[in-house]
Structure 1
Amino acid sequence: MSDHADTARRFVADVWNGEREDSAYDLVAAGCPGFGAHGPEGVLAWHRDRRASFPDLRYELLDVVADGSRAALRWHATGTQEGPFGPVPPTGTAVSYAGATFLTFDADGRIADVWSVNELFQLLQQLGVGVVAPEA
């Protein structure tokens, strides 16, 4: 369904990239899992938190596939860490990483679930985070 593909593209442009955050109230269902809350506020909280760490964070959509009540997105993100990212203090480092996000839509065409996988380990490596092996 191309409507879901269009909604997915708008979700990335308006919400993820912060061009028109108020769109979350049109695009996201009340029960959609988020960051400390459900619905549009929870989804916005997650993206605001990420943009606090990387104010210039931008997602580029590489692929969008929609079928039935689902859409899959393949994306590439770039940004510069200017704020804390979890326990990592600001580094001023530019990062680049990729991922995929899967959206499920409700009967009203709103996003009811968001599930993503990404190259978080690669992102942390770019910020200079080391991995310490557990003791045997």
Structure 2
Amino acid sequence: MTAADREALVRRLIADVWNGAREATAHEVIAPDCPGLGGSGPDGVLAWHQERRVSFPDLRYKVVDLIVAGDRAAVHWRAAGTQMGQFGPVAPTGTVVSYSGATFLRFDAEGRIADVWSVNELFQLLQQLGVEMLPPA
């Protein structure tokens, strides 16, 4: 698998799975033992994104920058959506939010995504929803 193939696979993950919730694509590109926030494998990745879409039904991710090196990839992304459902303790606000993050991926020998690790601007997202963060007394 070439770097161009891996880049195309990451872009497909974001377009088809993160944005499109396409189960068939998730099962094709994600290894069965890939750890994730919603559980392992394709079903875990889908579960996490389905839960996020309950809060932000129109949430869409856009690739800002993508780097592939060997069996690893790093993608800087931007997401935007309208909070129409409960998000943790935050009741629906109807607020449009926009935030950034970075996701780091590792590919297995079969060319599937074997590991995913993400960081994002959750604090910024919560501020946009009107959550007031106070330091402990």
Tell me which interval the TM-score lies in, with the shorter structure as reference length: over 0.9
| Equivalent residue, structure 1, for 2:5 | 3
Q: Relative to structure 1, is the Cα distance of residues 24 and 94 closer, same or farther in structure 2, using a 3 angstrom cutoff? A: same
Work out which of the residue numbers 59, 65, 68 in structure 1 matches 2:67: 65
Query: Residues 99 and 120 of structure 2 are in contact (CA less than 8 Å); yes or no, is this contact kept in structure 1?
Result: yes
Work out which of the residue numbers 114, 123, 126 in structure 1 matches 2:125: 123
| Equivalent residue, structure 1, for 2:23 | 21
| Equivalent residue, structure 1, for 2:93 | 91
How far did 1:86 drift? 0.9
| Partner SS, residue 49 of structure 2 | helix
Structure 1's consecutive aligned runs of 4 or more residues displaced over 4 angstroms after TM superposition are none
Work out the number of aligned pairs and report it.
Answer: 135
Give the share of equivalent positions with the same residue, in percent. Answer: 64
TM-score (norm 1): 0.95
Consecutive unaligned residues of structure 2, counting only runs of 5 or more, are: none
TM-score (norm 2): 0.95
| Partner SS, residue 91 of structure 2 | coil
Consecutive unaligned residues of structure 1, counting only runs of 5 or more, are: none
| Partner SS, residue 20 of structure 2 | coil
Tell me, yes or no, if structure 1 residue 51 matches structure 2 residue 53. yes
- The one-letter code sitting in structure 1 at the alignment partner of 2:20 is G
| Partner SS, residue 82 of structure 1 | coil
| Partner SS, residue 41 of structure 1 | helix
| Partner SS, residue 90 of structure 1 | coil
